Amino acid sequence: MERLTKMPGHTRLYRRGAVYYHRAAVPQDIIATYGKREETFSLKTRDYSEALCRVKIEAVRVDRLFDEHRLRLAREREEKLHELTPEQIATIKALYLHHLLDEDEEVRIDGFEEVEDHEGQSVLVSPQQFDPRQTFEEYKMLVEDMDEITRFNMARGKADPFYRSEAEEVLSWEGIDLRLDPSSPSWPRLTRALQEASVEAREAIRRRNKGDVVPTPDAPQAAPQSVHEAPLLSAAIKLCRRTSWTRYRVTLSEGWQDAMATVATGLTCLRRTSSASNTLTCENVDELRQSLLNKAFSGELT
């Protein structure tokens, strides 16, 4: 293979043949744990001006990866908390409730797809969006499905893995940033607090679905201004295609399968198919939805 050649204009700009590359050595302070010695990849262009623009963008992104790795190492070295105080758990619950309802407001501000039946065919009547949206009916159904599963587990005292993963994510948010010992007795109380917040949020969302005015509660003082990029449940919902429950043939992508698994159980546990997409009839979709719910209740998707 032809060697990379250093190019002028940027310290990380290289070329192999006619194609330009980003190349950066992993800093010495993290190289032992980073997993590789370089961040080298194609910029997918043969144009010098375009490559110069892209390498600047990628350099910022890669530097952020290095910084995030340093942050993870620093967190791993921190002393772990053995137990959370009741006040800390209450603050985290209030923050999570704020997050869910604020997110619901964003969904409504973005709007829903509107579909009408025309001679037996479902026709999109709302303006076409770059990112597909759900219909209002689909959104209501997802809310009810998630609420049903959460209440089922709460009634039985089950701290399902989804809320454990949500708790781990919320603890890492800026403004909270707590490292809890994996064996801490606070985990069951914390995961149950998030379940309670979810039930309270769904009650409020149900009222909003009827047209009631339900303000989003203010975030507690310890609330973060921004959160990590790892997706919570809302991110999975936004991946769902507007065609998920409507009465016409739909294309089920891999991303949609993962999203529905997350929505139904809080876990991305569906086995992806070998093909990029599958065409399903509405009967198949309903069967998939019911299957997901059944598996969630039976504990098969844990």
Domain carrying residue 212? 86-298
Q: Which of 25, 17, 47, 56 is nearest to 4 (CA)?
A: 17
Residues 61 and 112 grouped into a single domain: no
Q: Position 38: which residue type?
A: E
Using CA atoms, how far apart are residues 93 and 193, in angstroms rounded to an integer?
Answer: 6
Same domain? For 258 and 146 the reply is yes
Q: Kindly report the number of other CB atoms within 10 A of residue 108's CB atom.
A: 13
Q: Are residues 157 and 140 in the same domain?
A: yes
Same domain, 66 and 125: no
DSSP, collapsed to helix, strand or coil, labels residue 232 as coil
How many domains does the structure of the chain reveal? 2
- CA separation for the pair 193, 284 (Å, rounded): 36
Same domain, 105 and 11: no
Cβ(202)–Cβ(210) below 8 Å: no
The β-bridge relationship of strands 13-16 and 5-6 is antiparallel
| Residue at token pair 């969006």 | 129
Same domain? For 129 and 48 the reply is: no
- Do 61 and 92 share a domain, yes or no? no
Exposure on the CB side of residue 278, measured as CA atoms within 13 A: 15
Last residue of a domain, one of 77, 104, 139: 77
Same domain, 194 and 234: yes
Q: How far apart are CA 186 and CA 196, in angstroms?
A: 15
Distance CA 165, CA 91 (A): 18
Please say which residue of 77, 112, 136 terminates a domain.
77
DSSP string, 58-74: HHHHHHHHHHHHHHHHH
Q: In this structure, are 41 and 127 located in the same domain?
A: no
Give the residue from 77, 94, 118 where a domain finishes.
77
State the pLDDT at residue 124: 58
Q: Which residue has the higher pLDDT, 141 or 270?
A: 141
One domain, residues 163 and 33: no
d(CA 23, CA 65): 14
Using one digit for the tens of pLDDT, what is the confidence trace for 141-190?
Answer: 999 999 999 999 999 999 889 999 999 999 988 778 888 999 999 999 99
* pLDDT score, position 80: 82
- pLDDT attached to residue 233: 45
The angle formed by the CA atoms of residues 276, 280 and 282, to the nearest 5 degrees, is: 150
What is the mean pLDDT of the segment spanning 271-286? 40
The length of the chain is 302
Burial class of residue 20 in the structure, from the number of CB atoms within 10 Å of its CB (0-12 exposed, 13-18 middle, 19+ buried)? buried
pLDDT class for 242, splitting at 50, 70, 90? Answer: very low
Let me know whether 71 and 105 are in one domain: no
Q: What is the pLDDT of residue 295?
A: 55
- Distance in angstroms (rounded) separating the CA atoms of residues 202 and 137: 15
Give the pTM: 0.55
Q: Do 148 and 284 sit in the same domain of this protein?
A: yes
